[in-house]
Structure 1
Amino acid sequence: MHFSVLGQTKAQLENQRKKYKSEIAQLNRLLSTEVKKEKNALEYLNDINQKIDVRNKLINTINLEAKLLLNAISKNETKLNKLNKNLEVLKADYAEMIYKSYKSKSQQSRAMFLLSSQNFYQAYKRLEYMKQYTKFRKKQGEEIEVQKQVIEKLNDSLLYQKKVKDTLVLVEKNQKKEIESDKKKQESLIATIKKKEGKYKRELRKKVKEDKIIAARIDKIIKEEIAKANRIARAKNKDKKTVSKTNTKFILSPEAKALAAKFEQNKGKLPWPVNEGLIVRRFGVQPHPIFPGITISSPGVHFATSEGSDAKAIFDGEVLNVLVGSGGTKNVMIRHGSYITSYNNLESAYVKKGDPIATGQKIGSIFKDKVKNKTILIFVLFKNTTRLNPASWMAKK
């Protein structure tokens, strides 16, 4: 953590703080704010855990930012003390000069000083000295004025930095209060869940099983689509020996190869499939946050977004298929050469199989679960039949 403080600039920490504040605002807007039904307890607990996690990250960032500000304030105060000492010395020298000048200020004294010279050369030197002395007095007066302005600016900077630090401390206190409130809800929910642990575990295992069935069905459909596309490719190619007979990889035309290469070049820069949203479940196998021994397998990334939102294509391509789930929700699959993007949990689809697709094109409205009170898009990425982590391919937000 010590090296993290040294490695991060004030601007980086400020941007990080703004990001977490924005994420908290999104969490409050897009996720559940109350348990409407008992069976939503696990879902709501997961939302609370996510809110606590982001609030802790925000507090940590605020602490780092406050440390950086305290360090800057300390350095500025040292600089201010040094400037004040320099100013006192300048003032003392100037006062002494003014006093001496006052004692010999009359024109008669100056004239006598020149006339009492033993020769012309001495008189010339004395005249030059008088000119230099006058110039020095003026310069010292200007230096005092400059030092005063520097000190005034530094004072203003210190006051501003102290106000910023006080504001950060206040934000931190408010976030800690929110965490305490969330933790009370968390404890209450955990107690409720523990009373009916067996029931929740059964429901959870059932959901895990259903997810596996859906994932297997999608895998099967993708293999069928690859086989179908490859049959067409083989039929178009007269020299059958040069065409692979595999059905686990797309046979690519020169155009499809170019599209796949372009897709790969944009790794880490691809847009999100939603205009506004946050990731509520990540890719891969994860331990359940409450029940040890139970794992959740996510084939892709789950985005929570606002009601009425549309899913958008992340890259140019062609609609490979539009699937309809058991609950009536739709899944639009778009092919990008050897890559496939899957947009699942749609209320309706705006496209059909074979349609050409452009980056950013709206492809369907996202379904809102009235029971969970959430609008979730399940976004999955494949290379041929292999699932990839979409988060590695999308731009960071």
Structure 2
Amino acid sequence: MVIKRLFFLLFFLVLIQHILFSEYIKEEIKDYKKHLETTKQELKKIREKINEEKKAIIKEKQQEKLTTKYLQKIEREIDIAKKELDVFDNNVKVLNKDIEEIENRIKKTNEYIDKKRNVVKNILREQYIKGQFNVLSVILGAKNFSDFINKYKFTKILSSKNLLEIERYRTAVMQLEEDKNLMLNYKNEIEEIKRQKKIQWESYKNVKWEKRLALKNIRSNIEKRTKVINELEENSKNLADFIDKLEIQATLQDKSAEEAFNRFKGKFPWPVKSRNILSGFGKYKHPKFGTTVYNRGIHIATNYGEDVNSIFKGTVKYADWFDGFGKMVIIHHGGGYYSIYGHLSEISVGKGQNVDMREKIGQSGDTESFYGSELYLEIRKKSTPLDPLKYLAR
């Protein structure tokens, strides 16, 4: 009878324990589903953000197309302006040559006029000295009356002829001077047009340079946006998928681990000696692409090969290379809490290994790092990243 009662008592206790454990598991699953839904919402926001970036890339490409067409137009305008400048340069050279030729003709004509003027001066001087045609001298020197008339006429005609020739050459010089002035005025007009065309040409060149720079920036922005989207999308997706797999494999047990984790909040030991933060939690400027992205952890500057220790006890769930994070270790601390250590040079633990707080798990390095030697530290509650600085000792 006593044995029967003991049997029923044990059966009842086992039943109660099973019911309580089932309720506990249901509660854990409910909590997990809640976080899973939150993660889906975050994933939806990320995808919306990616779509926004893709739309921005489409706009950038449209702008790239318009700028390229405008550049082609400017380059044609520069080519036309250059050809016009060449024509103007040639015209100026021809005009300079013509002006030089006219100036030589003017110089020779003036020299001839001076020569003729001296001849007339000499004749007039002689006539003045001898008197007006020195009629007596002419009469006495003449053989007869007819010879006298001829000598008188010759002297007069000689003076008149020289004067007429001087006048004719002087008129020619005036015409040459007028032609020269016309050419100089034409040359000045061409020089002015050439000057304005050169200003236009230089302006086109400046616009071309500005548009090329703008096009370069547009293409650089497209490249940066594309690379950032691809890199962050790929790395975040891989890490999120990986942690989701860990969550599925993890046992929903032991809330005391979560309570202990919360109890140490603000008192966790730093994983390395250094406390020099290269990049904090949240938004930051990407060192490679120069764009603002969301940082799910912190980057700590370290000496290469510095010991890296676990910030809390737990079980190693991953210890190997991971795209974007180099050599990486993930430790599950219980209660859905994880700590992630990236860019290690060496890994000292293996998957499934239990580690204590402050136990060495590897050495700092620069594998797949944009900063050089560093440690990337991330703390997650299931798939939600948390600010490590709120957990590390102040």
- TM-score higher than 0.5: no
Could you tell me the TM-score, scaled by structure 1's length?
0.41
Larger radius of gyration: 2
Could you tell me the TM-score, scaled by structure 2's length?
0.41
Instruction: Name whichever structure is richer in helix by fraction.
Output: 2
